[in-house]
Structure 1
Amino acid sequence: MGIRKRTVGVWGIWLLASLALAGWLGLPLLKKDTPKTAFIPGAMTHGHHQIELQCGACHGDGFNSQEVLQDACVNCHGDELKAAQDAHPKSKFTDPRNADRLANVDARFCVSCHVEHRPELDVGMGVTLPMDMCVHCHEDIASERPSHEGMGFDTCASAGCHNFHDNRALYEDFLLAHAGEPWLKPEPVQPPRHGWRHDMDDAELVALLRGDGPPPASVKEPEHWDGNAHAEAGVACTACHGSAEQWVDTPEPLQCARCHEPEVEGFTRGRHGMRLGMALSPMTPAQSVLNMHVEASHRELTCVSCHGAHDFDTQKAAVDACVGCHNDEHSNEYLRSPHHDLWKREKRGELPPGSGVTCATCHMPREAHNGDVRVQHNQSLNLRPVEKMIRPVCLTCHGLEFSIDALADPHLLENNFRGKPDIHVPSVDMARERDESRDGKKGLY
């Protein structure tokens, strides 16, 4: 009996000591000034690392609900999924006839494939993806399409091949329609920007642009104001800086959204502005996982970081603003590329407007919206998978076969497309062969 009491006493002391130690170690984590990184179970992918301190953006109030995480994914990426012609919609996997497909990959939930806090699964551009995902459902694809015989299970998502969410660039009728195109189209020019839409009537717009009267007498007109788009539109200083009585030297980072809501919405969905979209401080190049110029490390990224506070120079924003921060190989090689040569010739007036190729041409392409042509300010939108650039960007100047091959060539991506591809993706060839064998057509291309 005495031994039993002593044993219970020892365990009791051990339990109290453990609780005391846990409390002593855990107490600092509850303090307000404790960095939230102490709670992160693993590093974030570089697609999300900027918002890692805003845990609630993905987890809500809890950390164990797959539905909460799914809602968070759709809240940020839902528009992209709606725009995609998805061959794998959620409805396909909620169909009981496909229940067996979920045994290996539960495709009803984004996090089944795109896992956070597991950077070792990153397949590039901050996307985590199991490389054998496709083969779980399409293991017998060679029996349906002999052309796929012998292809590796990890080649499905190669540039020029399949994209789980949207393979529009690979539909056979699209491939065949663009078969035989020259690698460079004659006189390629991107569409001009035009139109500026807003939801205000004329009186509201005029009141907004006029602001709250004149600025304080001590405020002088900025050096670069004359001739810029805002000056020509009659925008008053107080429209951005507030009234003379409540003057603000530096407007809020998202002040531009009062007039430019679509552009700001795109900006806050991309990696440059996503921290602002999550009510965090602006991103700085020092927070990037890419190589950046040291002197730009602490530059805060807002609208005026690229456009300037008063000159609003779109030419500067298209190139200089980008290479002023980015110091990676792809960005540096742009300055020695044929694309940059075209841009310099356009600026000198040797080529018509739209002939030059800037950083923004590819990463912030122009899109048609209800008769307007706007710039897409989400510079991350067409980065991954890379073939998302084909339709809105590459085909403006190049043929489809060249575009697919160029995007599949890692060396060409690195040197910013100086030269021709050393890699050939046979997507168009396969479409031709299948079309000829099916219809008995020969020599049409």
Structure 2
Amino acid sequence: MSMKKLLWPLWILLTLLIGGYYSYVLFASEDKAALLIGEATHGHYQIELECDSCHTDAFGGTEVLQDACTSCHAAELEDAHDSHPKKKFTDPREAYRLEIIDARYCVSCHTEHQSEQTRAMGVTLPDDYCWHCHQEVGEERESHKDLAFDSCASAGCHNFHDNRALFEDFLVNNANQPWLLKQGEQLPSLDIRNAAKLYANKEVAIDPQQDAKHMANHPTETEHWQDTAHANAGISCTGCHSPNETAQQGDDDWISKPGIEVCASCHQAEFDGFSAGKHGMRLAAGAATAISPADVQSDLAFDQDNLHLQQGCNSCHQPHQYDTEFAATDACLTCHQDEHSLAFEASPHGQLWQQASAGDMPVEQAVSCASCHMPRVAKKKRGEQVVSVQHNQNYYLRPNEKMIRPVCMQCHSLEFSIDALADPDLIRTNFADKPGIHIKSIDWALKRAER
């Protein structure tokens, strides 16, 4: 038999083996990792095996991927008053820029599964991407002539999507302020009892007879529950522990550990925020288990004794107690043990929090982990102003200048906020001192305004 005739059966056998393996992975195996074409980014690795989260159509192209991006990130871009929206690049006057970067599509700058070229915030372009469209700025502005061509997006200067705190008019209008403003003067008050009434799902099945029985059997839980917003809103045992349609059929329908969907039935805004953030996105994508510190793919340090803890509502909120102090700081430090987190207690912010915990100052004037990473948001709901907590902890995190207006400027000047967030050493020590870096954005804006 000639070598050529021998190779054909080998090629056919090899093809069948490879095809059979991938068919097994695709249709029978629970582990789909072999189908990945490359590592997912820091923002998406949690859902890298939930392929249909992004690839909703197996034969879809750029438009399908764009719809997947906006299904998760559209609200954030709208809130940020996106400085490079798609409509800007459908304007014929800007069409020539599409030859440089087709900024109508997220994947033009954020290409997944390309770890070898992925930079901060999932950007897969070289760091000089701003310069290619805006090189005339470096030539026309005296203040920008000596700047490096890849420094446009440096901290305190420009962000591609969110420039709310960096526009020139805003810089000028908020210049020359004292570094520390009156503490808590702008913080919205969180009226948890009123919020509970507004959020309460009136269709929750309540069975007074069953409630009385279970309260008698669980006196400790009942005592804790009586001081909660749930009690104030009339949400008792069966409101969470029994399915609505069978709530009055007896103990057989009792749910000992209600799932996160029970919380979502009343707390939709908080659930939406949680689902969009790192703590909840895995569950939102349909994964069987929630994220735990052991699953995190980053250089963050975690408490080695709590690596197994899965993230859900009860991770921070005890089911029968209302303890925002635990949720605002202690719950975070249960898992997070990086340098920034460990420095909180000794920092000025941490000292304020300790004073508030001791009753020596109002909680509204203190600063917890949640004050910065899950700030309060005031919105209209059913005709009433409701202050809720943004449970998407990434919302104001990257780039960190997104924190300037909703978080830092509640207590600090714009100049201090910009400088502080640009100082990596200060961030590591949890803002234990004043910034050691000065960003000249406000200085340049004032000079241009004078001219």
Superposition TM-score, scaled by structure 1 size: 0.90
The within-5 A match list for 1:243-262 is: 243=247, 244-245=250-251, 246-262=253-269
Instruction: Report the Cα distance in structure 2 between the residues aligned to 1:57 and 1:30, rounded to whole angstroms.
Output: 16
Instruction: Report the Cα distance in structure 2 between the residues aligned to 1:336 and 1:122, rounded to whole angstroms.
Output: 35
Instruction: Report the Cα distance in structure 2 between the residues aligned to 1:409 and 1:214, rounded to whole angstroms.
Output: 57
Conserved 8 A contact 2:241-2:255: yes
Alpha-carbon shift at residue 129 of structure 1 (Å): 5.0
| 399, 412, 416: which one aligns with 1:385 | 399
Which amino acid is 1:397 matched to? C
| 313, 333, 347: which one aligns with 1:337 | 347
| More moved, 87-96 vs 318-327 | 87-96
Deviations 1:372-401 (A, max 9, x none): 222111111011111000000000000010
Give the structure 2 partner of residue 220 of structure 1: 218
The within-5 A match list for 1:133-148 is: 133-148=129-144
Conserved 8 A contact 1:266-1:377: yes
| 48, 73, 76: which one aligns with 1:52 | 48
Instruction: Report the Cα distance in structure 1 between the residues aligned to 2:168 and 2:115, rounded to whole angstroms.
Output: 35
Instruction: Report the Cα distance in structure 2 between the residues aligned to 1:211 and 1:330, rounded to whole angstroms.
Output: 47
Instruction: Report the Cα distance in structure 1 between the residues aligned to 2:359 and 2:59, rounded to whole angstroms.
Output: 57
Alpha-carbon shift at residue 419 of structure 1 (Å): 0.6
Alpha-carbon shift at residue 314 of structure 1 (Å): 1.1
Tell me: CA distance 1:75–1:212, structure 2 relative to 1, closer, same or farther (3 Å): farther
The within-5 A match list for 1:24-103 is: 25-26=21-22, 28-30=24-26, 32-62=28-58, 65-103=61-99
Alpha-carbon shift at residue 197 of structure 1 (Å): 7.5
Instruction: Report the Cα distance in structure 1 between the residues aligned to 2:26 and 2:268, rounded to whole angstroms.
Output: 38
The within-5 A match list for 1:298-337 is: 298-337=308-347
Instruction: Report the Cα distance in structure 1 between the residues aligned to 2:291 and 2:395, rounded to whole angstroms.
Output: 18
Instruction: Report the Cα distance in structure 2 between the residues aligned to 1:187 and 1:88, rounded to whole angstroms.
Output: 34
Alpha-carbon shift at residue 24 of structure 1 (Å): 5.6
Instruction: Report the Cα distance in structure 2 between the residues aligned to 1:212 and 1:45, rounded to whole angstroms.
Output: 50
Is 1:288 aligned to residue 286 of structure 2?
A: no
Which amino acid is 2:274 matched to? F
Conserved 8 A contact 2:426-2:433: yes
| More moved, 94-103 vs 10-19 | 10-19
Alpha-carbon shift at residue 309 of structure 1 (Å): 1.2
Deviations 1:298-321 (A, max 9, x none): 212111110111113111100000
Conserved 8 A contact 2:26-2:32: no
Give the structure 1 partner of residue 233 of structure 2: 233
Conserved 8 A contact 1:198-1:259: no
Superposition TM-score, scaled by structure 2 size: 0.89
Conserved 8 A contact 1:222-1:310: no
Alpha-carbon shift at residue 353 of structure 1 (Å): 2.8
Conserved 8 A contact 1:387-1:404: yes
The sequence identity of aligned pairs, in percent, is: 47
Instruction: Report the Cα distance in structure 1 between the residues aligned to 2:362 and 2:23, rounded to whole angstroms.
Output: 66
Conserved 8 A contact 1:28-1:34: no
Conserved 8 A contact 2:290-2:310: yes
| More moved, 163-172 vs 319-328 | 163-172
Alpha-carbon shift at residue 198 of structure 1 (Å): 7.5
Instruction: Report the Cα distance in structure 1 between the residues aligned to 2:337 and 2:171, rounded to whole angstroms.
Output: 36
Conserved 8 A contact 1:254-1:303: no
| 277, 284, 305: which one aligns with 2:284 | 277
Deviations 1:384-433 (A, max 9, x none): 11100000000000001010000000101111101111111000000011
Equivalent residue pairs, number:
430
- Cα-Cα RMSD: 2.3
Conserved 8 A contact 1:161-1:427: yes
Give the structure 2 partner of residue 115 of structure 1: 111
Alpha-carbon shift at residue 109 of structure 1 (Å): 0.6
Conserved 8 A contact 2:196-2:233: no
Gaps of 5+ in 1: 438-445
Instruction: Report the Cα distance in structure 1 between the residues aligned to 2:433 and 2:102, rounded to whole angstroms.
Output: 42
Which amino acid is 1:340 matched to? G
Instruction: Report the Cα distance in structure 2 between the residues aligned to 1:374 and 1:23, rounded to whole angstroms.
Output: 52
Conserved 8 A contact 1:47-1:127: no
Tell me: CA distance 1:25–1:424, structure 2 relative to 1, closer, same or farther (3 Å): same
